[in-house]
Amino acid sequence: MLNQINNIKIIGTSHIAKQSVEEVRKAIEEFQPTIVAVELDSKRYISLMNDKQKKKSRFSLGMIPKIGLKGYLFGLIGSYASKKLGSVVGATPGDEMLTAIKEAKKRNLEVALIDQDIEITLSRFSKALSWKEKWVFLKDIFNSIFRKKKALAEYKELGLDLETLDLTQVPSNQFIAVLTTAMKKKYPNIYRVLVSERNTVMVKTLVKMRKKYPEKKILAVVGAGHVEGMEKLFSEFVVSSHNCCGN
């Protein structure tokens, strides 16, 4: 999934799909960017680049005062789930980001970290999660473990056939669109904090980079679920820029 806006190209990936690793390599080879921007903050970058850190959980009890109990539990569950799914398909979560960084360094390209600090995201998650969303979240977890057929049937009603989903491939645009709609409906606050707000942070960072280095080509490597929202924000920034300049 590759989209270009002026001198910025966005590639949408799956964090556990082997296909994404090859697509990232191909995108760097074909686009030949000057800067490779990745959906990471400094903390996740250090963890990803450090083999010892990768084996440990990034989430310690000492983080609870900073990010809240709900943010801590969500981060812990999310990290565990990613590793379990990765082991199923024979991939390590974040392999495509690591590939982007290594390929950039091999070519002496600049690497830019464009995502929001993970502690800010999880802290905002703790504050934003409503009681209704907590209940729906717990119910979904319970169904996925003890009532799998019911859970699969509910997702099928939303247009998501998880039984045929190939985790080794990047999901199709149609699947992502349906999943995004379902997430907005079931978890509006979670979607806002985990997707919308981070889209804004990443787009603003990329826009600043483009203004600072107008002659440089930027390849942004982000999760596939961010691409559509980021493209829309880019369009809004371009229109706003033209209007303010009297064009």
Tell whether the model's pLDDT for residue 100 goes beyond 90. yes
Tell whether the model's pLDDT for residue 53 goes beyond 70. no
Tell whether the model's pLDDT for residue 2 goes beyond 80. no
**Residue 148 domain-assigned (yes or no):** yes
96 touches 21 (CB < 8 A): yes
> 204 is written with which tokens?
């603003």
How far apart CA 137 and CA 190 sit, in angstroms, is 10
Residue 47: predicted pLDDT: 86
Residue 197: predicted pLDDT: 94
**Residue 108 domain-assigned (yes or no):** yes
Domain containing residue 9: 2-242
Residue 89: predicted pLDDT: 37
| Residue 1 burial (CB count, 10 A) | 19
**Residue 42 domain-assigned (yes or no):** yes
Tell whether the model's pLDDT for residue 79 goes beyond 70. no
How far apart CA 35 and CA 8 sit, in angstroms, is 10
> 125-176: per-residue pLDDT in tens?
888 877 787 777 777 766 666 666 765 676 666 666 656 555 556 666 666 7
Q: Across residues 97-110, what is the average pLDDT?
A: 96
39 touches 221 (CB < 8 A): yes
Share of the chain above pLDDT 90, in %: 32
**Residue 196 domain-assigned (yes or no):** yes
How far apart CA 41 and CA 54 sit, in angstroms, is 15
Amino acid (one-letter) located at 216:
K
Which residue is it, tokens 């409906």?
185
> 171-219: per-residue pLDDT in tens?
666 667 777 777 788 888 888 988 999 999 999 999 999 999 999 999 9
**Residue 187 domain-assigned (yes or no):** yes
**Residue 247 domain-assigned (yes or no):** no
Total count of domains within the chain: 1
Check: pTM over 0.85? Answer yes or no. Answer: no
